[in-house]
Amino acid sequence: MSSRTFSLSPGKRVLYLTKDPQLIEQQLRGELTLSMDQLDPAALLDDINTDAMTPAWVCFDYDPAAIAQNAYAGLVINNQRLIPAQALAEGNFEVIVAGAQKGVGSSRETAAQCEVFSGSRLAVASSFAPIHARNNINIGQLMCDHAMLRRLEAGEAIALDEFTRGHDAVTALIIEAGGLLPFCAALADGKVQVPATGTAPRPMNLTEKILATKLLPGQGSYVKPGDAVLVKVDAGYSHEFTTAQVDFFLAAEYGADYKLKDPSKFAVFEDHLIYADGVAAMAKFSAKIEELRVRQRAFAAKTGVRNYNAVDGISPGICHQIAREQFLDPGDFVQATDSHTCMGGASGALSWGVGASEYAALIYWGFTPIAVPESIRFEFTGALRPGVTAKDVMLHILATFAKREDTLNRVMEFGGAGLFSLSPDERATLANMATECSARGAVMEVDDVMLQWIAARRPGVDVAALKQKVVTPDPGAHHDGGVHVIDLSAIAAMVATPGDPDRGVASDPKNGANIADLPKTKINIAYGGSCTAGKRDDIDMYARVIAEAEKAGRRVASDVQFFIQFGSKDVESYARAQGYMDLFARNGVEMIAPGCGACIGCGPGVSEASSQVSVSAINRNYKGRSGPGALYLASPLTVAASAIAGEIVEYHDGMFKK
């Protein structure tokens, strides 16, 4: 038990991020001091996402001290930054207070770094998104709730044990060490030890069973939620947005000549910023972007990891899509520096995103400390109706289960005959958007169809070899989040309204209603692409709608820009082989080579004004995510149909017949 305590420092301040922007501005100017006794927690900002804390352009710096200068640059009111540059550090704040679900969104550790390197020692919220919470722990920022803050403001010194209470034994050790890298050093020096789980034989679900096979020696053979374990990581990757910082941390901790133990299934990708130079708002950052690219190339050459950097300015593809095509296997445990790492779950690989510090540690040591997470199982029955896609299924899950936090910090497991009625690409859409549910990660049962899909893309790999790696859940396995049966035939087409992916509006076929019955919503931009919607099946969907419209004498509306961006070179080659490129070109579609592009505000398809409206097949629609305009989320079918109609409409067979 630690004898250390935490108390507020004399002369330091507490910043309350309130729903009333004037109160924030008054605090920043030093005109107002608030306390929990004065505030109802309902007055605090909920759902502060990582894009608001450190928008994409802030992440062009890799040194956390530089990142901190623009803390909360994406918190915008009426197109104005609410927290000016350096205001957080200059305000002398050591505590930052928010409402519920702080840190939703991407896995970018920069969101936690911007606070810590501005002087914050304590983050306060009623709940934290799981990856963001882990990033706080990994870089040494304590977390607590509003009740504990009241005690601190009353002058109490609170024992560090209270901050570690409720955490697993390994996480408690990391908190006590002041962060993950100091913990790893103490572990290597024998100053701390991780105990065996002591878990008796029990039926295990997919998450538990995969992790049990990765335990380092001496920890046992069975796990249960909450067990503190050290586990082998099979595969992972970083991209040009994060690699420079991973290298920065490794060099700082282990020296410039550090070596990786096993780089064979780790990789780097140049995908996120491949088109950033062509975005007007990004032009002034071109030198920083190029430095990130240069540093990633140097990292790849030095370490020997798989190298998916661009060649002649063309990316081989988005990291998540390439990884599932080329090196993720069933039964793998996968960690990468991007929140959509969970897409690997469709291949039967337990996958989730981590921050730069955590990735630096695991790629160096080959293992990582975790607490075995809880799981929630979705059992699919039936089959989707015509015009309904996996994207609609996820928008339904978001609006139902995620909205009430059933999925929060749990691994989403998927199975059932209905799952196997979906194609491998459609299953990948489901796994990809687990992070939008604030889930810890994703994993799915696999069948021969998925194994054949993987083998077809790997020379020399056959289905029989892959089948040996498949992990299946034990009969009677428990899921703390429950088992939820979803009849796919009952799912309707959906659109998520601007601000959050969980704001889904569904059609109601029983009552003859569809999403076209929403208030008429004219669009300026339709966007198909991203890791979520740039796969072969997605391209088939866009082409299907465009071809049907062409037969009826229709094409993309004259006042709409329709962009389609491919998820990988393989997908682009497929589109060419199918004749889609000519189809798209003659019907007014602008095609873009592989990359993340508009999904992260770094490519064609980004809105340029707040008055513009986009309908997009990407994964999230937080304010400012893809430009300042209003952003609706929908399936590839809905996006393509809306591009033809010039407004948001629901696709159905024959809708463009003369």
Residue 633 has pLDDT above 90, yes or no: yes
Rounded Cα distance between 502 and 173, Å, is 35
pLDDT band with cut points at 50, 70 and 90 for residue 276: confident
- Quote the Cα angle for 417-420-425, to 5°: 155
Q: Would you state the CATH architecture of domain 194-491?
A: 2-Layer Sandwich (3.30)
pLDDT at 185: 87
Tokens found for residue 401 = 């289960």
Within 10 angstroms of residue 9's Cβ, the number of other Cβ atoms is 12
Lowest-pLDDT choice from 33-37, 42-46, 191-195, 421-425: 191-195
pLDDT tens for each residue of 170-223? 899 999 999 999 998 888 888 988 888 899 999 999 999 999 999 999 899 999
Query: What pLDDT was estimated at residue 508?
Result: 66
560 pLDDT more than 90:
yes
Query: What mean pLDDT is predicted for residues 397-417?
Result: 95
Q: What letter represents residue 476's amino acid?
A: G
Residue 654 above 90 pLDDT? no
What are the pLDDT digits (tens) for 221-259?
Answer: 999 999 999 999 999 999 999 999 999 999 999 999 999
Instruction: Tell me what pLDDT residue 106 has.
Output: 73
Spatial contact of 471 and 213, defined as CB atoms under 8 Å apart: yes
Q: What is the pLDDT of residue 133?
A: 93
CA atoms within 13 A on the CB side of 188: 14
- Residue 571 above 70 pLDDT? yes
CATH 3.20.19.10 fits 5-177, yes or no: yes
Of 325, 349, 538, give the one whose Cα is nearest residue 336: 349
Q: Is residue 518 scored above 90 in pLDDT?
A: no
Under the banding of pLDDT at 50, 70 and 90, the label for residue 98 is very high
Q: Looking at the predicted structure, is the pLDDT value of residue 505 above 90?
A: no
Tell whether the model's pLDDT for residue 1 goes beyond 60: no
pLDDT above 60 for 499: yes
> Above 70 in pLDDT, residue 432?
yes
User: Which pLDDT score is estimated for 516?
Assistant: 53
Q: Does domain 494-658 have CATH number 3.30.499.10?
A: yes
pLDDT tens, 83-92? 999 999 999 9
Q: In the beta sheet, which residues pair with residue 523?
A: none
User: What's the pLDDT at 509?
Assistant: 56
Query: Residue type for 166, please?
Result: G
Q: What's the pLDDT score for residue 658? A: 63
Residue 511, pLDDT score = 54
* Averaged pLDDT, 401-407: 94
Dihedral angle of Cα 127, 182, 50, 343, to the nearest 10 degrees? -90
What mean pLDDT is predicted for residues 566-587? 97
Question: In percent, how much of the chain has pLDDT > 90?
Answer: 82
Residue 347, amino acid: S
Q: How confident is the model at residue 381 (pLDDT cuts 50, 70, 90)?
A: very high
Beta bridge partners of 378: 414, 484
Which of 205-214, 292-301, 601-610 is least confident? Answer: 601-610
Q: Same CATH topology for 194-491 and 494-658?
A: yes
Distance CA 518, CA 524 (A): 17
314-348: per-residue pLDDT in tens?
A: 999 999 999 999 999 999 999 999 999 999 999 99
The whole-number pLDDT of residue 121 equals: 97
What is the model's pLDDT at position 418? 98
pLDDT value at residue 602? 81
Average pLDDT over residues 128-151: 94
pLDDT band at 123 (very low <50, low <70, confident <90, very high): very high
Sequence spans of domains, the chain: 5-177, 194-491, 494-658
Local structure of 229: helix, strand or coil: strand
Q: What is the 3-state secondary structure (H, E, C) of 432-480?
A: HCCHHHCCCEEEECCCHHHHHHHHCCCCCCCHHHHHCCCCCCCCCCCCC
Mean pLDDT of 6-13: 96
| Among 273, 353, 290, residue whose Cα is nearest residue 56 | 273
User: What is the structure's pLDDT at 622?
Assistant: 81
What angle do helix axes 356-365 and 180-188 make, rounded to 10 degrees?
20
Q: What is the pLDDT of residue 635?
A: 97
Across all residues in the chain, what is the average pLDDT?
93
Q: Where are the beta strands (DSSP E) in 117-218?
A: 122-124, 142-144, 158-159
